[in-house]
A and B are shown apart, each in its own frame.
Chain A
Amino acid sequence: MKTKKISIWLVVAAAALMLAAPGSAMAGEVYKTALSLAITGPTSDAGNPYSKGVEDYFRYVNDMNLLGDDTVDCTIRDDKYETAITKRNFEEFLDMGIVFYLNYSTGSTLALKRDFEEVEMPTLPASYHAGNIEGSDYIFLPIASYSAQNIGLAEYVVDHHEGGTPKVAMYVHPSAFGREPVKDVEKAIEAGLDIEIVETVEHGQDLDVTGMLQRWRSKGVQYVISQTVQSPVATMLKGANILGLVAQSFGEKGKITFLGAHYTGGNDLVALAGDAAENFYWTTSFITTSESSAGADAQLDLAERYGRDEKTANSHNYAAGILVAEITTEVIKRAKAKGKEITRENLYKELLDMNGMNAFYSQTAVGPVTYSKDDQQGVDTLQLYVVQDGEFRAEGKPFISEYPEKIK
């Protein structure tokens, strides 16, 4: 009797196991990725919405089964903009078995470059510093480098300036992030770009830059190209506004036209500078939500879906976070479609194949994402925007700056 009872239990247990087995097989694979960035501390004004863009897009991928039964598990950690913490985070991510990594700052990307090479980790940083990809096979810039952006702005100045060689001042962050693009602009000048750099100023934490603006006026500076973050640009624009120096139209004579690359602009600049941000020219590879487009709608829908506030929803840093999550998802999807195992090596190969007919079109970028063995810069296309009535409006068509190819 006892043996019979045990047998029945064994049959029931076996049946339960058989029922459970197909279920667990159907649960799919979990692909581990990670992001380390400044959610608090310096530059967290950019890092915070960026992390939300990454988080929301991966949630969307999992919720909508964009990878079938498989899911992406992206661990996001705050590094407070400290490279030592980023390195510790990265080492822990490696122990977790990540197959793709998203990094943030210029400093930590440069510092961890060798680590990425050693472990052959495909990496997308939020820093678009051209130096990140020098001597690296595994770092891929999501969009045009700061150098390409600054040269693109200089080319726009040349194309739209009337009368002689335009006099330009460069206003840059006191770091590699700020300095290095100036060298590339200088190389472009040597290669024939017709601008004169009157001065390059590395800003401090100034409350007032009247002295600098007065000096520029006395030297006949007509354009200022900024390669830094929003806060010092806002201080400069406020000062220029008080002195009546801001050009009301591009290249207005006797005034200064202010321009800036990716991290100088966006809604945060308007929030800080207020009316003084009017007529500021900004370039980036991202769409903005102040211009109606399918990409803007998609970005706003995603933010609404996951309960983000209006400020996050409209941030270009949120869009930047979405883009890197999209690229990660796309390479996983492509590797899966080819029946490949999802490993660092295979995802790296998929990144290298992302060109020509295989280019990836993101809704948050103004051009296609292309990578190859010789091209580690994703979206080459840039769009110029200008602040009008407190909003960034597209100025002209998307363009690709020419001189970065010439100075290679």
Chain B
Amino acid sequence: MTYFFQLVVSGIVVGSIYALAAIGFVLIYKSSRVLNLAHGQLIAAGAYITYTLTVYCHIPIYLSFVLSMILMFFLAMSVERIFLRRLIGEPIISVIMVTIGLMSIIDGVIYLTPYGSENLSFPSFLPSQPIVFQGIYISYTQVAGVVITFLLIGVFSWFFRKSTVGISMRAVSDDQMASMSIGISVPRVFGLAWATAGLTAAAAGGILGNIVGLNFDTLHAFGIIVFPVVILGGLDSLPGAVAAGIIMGLIQQFASGYLDGNWGLSGTASLLPYIVLLVILLFKPHGLFGTHEIERV
């Protein structure tokens, strides 16, 4: 059973990071119906800002982590203001193309810095010895990652259910015209959605960087890796992103632990999440928790 529970623990750790990264996609899609393909680049930018503040500005890592989230909040808000605000009302495909352009711009900017071609790791700030419970191992960094992820997910859930701004964002997501008619500033909500997504990207980048190290290829590819999670959960559902993240994490670990290397199977840990995704989409085309819209004509 230790074998099984070790896989469960690892699956939850990986899944919660997927969930945090997926939330960034959901926040933007939920308010503006735009799929931000540059989210992986925002994750990488967040990780490198945290690293810069920690290593070069000698700010304690937990403070750097918070500062990085604040910086990314304003950076993502600026991105929306400069590049995307003027596209409100334009076809969605145009906006998605802009996010692809944004992806290239952020890639280019990071490649101009030494971070684009260097491998780095955060200075250790937690004990390196793992926690061992009943033969199950987990590192302090992984525990911190999971705790921060669930903390942020809790905050966002409260924000969308209870705060005025959060409720405005949900209203815009439901119906932009109706929202405008009751005085909600739709452009402001879009800006806020991008800003919040930037904040979650910084959090995901910081946690990811601490767990796997800082390699630009790995970090920005994460935006694509997490894509099945977003689709599985339902593009506009926060609980869906969390559930799908954990499901994907567990599927990968179980596939790796029980299927790969047996019966001539190999690579199922990478393949199985996509198969599960396809099967679920056959029965639930809007994902596990996505909004099923009915349009009456």
Contacts and interface: CB of A to CB of B under 8 A. Distances in A.
B54 to A, nearest CB: 14
A336 B154 CA distance: 73
Name the residue among A208, A241, A311 with the largest chain B CB count within 10 angstroms. Answer: A208
Nearest to B270: A204
B260 to A, nearest CB: 7
Interface in A189-208: 199-202, 204-208
Given A207-B208, A273-B121, A242 B7 contact: no
B156 to A, nearest CB: 22
A274 B215 contact: no
A234 to B, nearest CB: 5
A230 B217 CA distance: 12
Interface string B108-120: 0001000011111
B98 interface: no
B171 interface: no
A243 interface: yes
A243 B137 contact: yes
Interface string A272-283: 111100000000
Given A243-B137, A275-B124, A205 B221 contact: yes
B136 to A, nearest CB: 10
B260 A214 contact: no
B255 A211 contact: yes
Interface stretch (B10-18, B233-241, B289-297): B10-18
Interface in A229-243: 230-231, 234-235, 238, 241-243
Contacts of A241: 128, 130
Interface in B218-267: 218, 221-222, 225, 252-258, 260-261, 266-267
B276 interface: no
Nearest to B261: A199
Interface extent on B, as a size class? 35 or more
A204 B218 CA distance: 11
Main secondary structure of the interface of A (DSSP, over half): helix
B213 interface: yes
Contacts of A231: 119, 212-213, 215, 217-218
B179 interface: no
B130 A44 contact: no
Contacts of B128: 241, 274-275
Contact of B213 (A47, A218, A234, A244): A234
Contacts of B267: 202, 204
Given A44-B117, A273-B121, A208 B14 contact: yes
A354 B217 CA distance: 39
Given A214-B7, A218-B3, A275-B128, A207 B120 contact: no
B47 interface: no
Given A45-B215, A207-B211, A272-B121, A212 B137 contact: no
B212 to A, nearest CB: 5
Interface string B190-224: 00000000000000000010011111011001100
A215 B7 CA distance: 10
B50 interface: no
B269 A206 contact: yes
B215 A272 contact: yes
A211 B269 contact: yes
B36 interface: no
A180 B50 CA distance: 39
A335 interface: no
A383 B210 CA distance: 32
A271 B213 contact: yes
A210 B10 contact: yes
Contacts of A40: 111, 116-117
A242 B133 CA distance: 13
Given A206-B269, A207-B17, A275-B124, A214 B6 contact: yes
Given A202-B267, A205-B221, A244-B130, A210 B215 contact: no
A214 B211 contact: no
Given A211-B255, A211-B258, 19 more contacts: A39-B117, A40-B111, A40-B117, A44-B117, A45-B117, A207-B212, A210-B10, A211-B257, A211-B260, A214-B7, A215-B260, A215-B261, A231-B212, A234-B119, A238-B212, A242-B142, A269-B119, A272-B119, A272-B213
Top 8 closest pairs, chain A to chain B, by CB: A211-B256, A211-B257, A272-B213, A210-B10, A44-B117, A204-B270, A48-B117, A268-B119
Interface of B: 3, 6-7, 10, 13-14, 17, 111, 116-121, 124, 128, 130, 132, 137-139, 142, 208, 211-215, 217-218, 221-222, 225, 252-258, 260-261, 266-267, 269-270
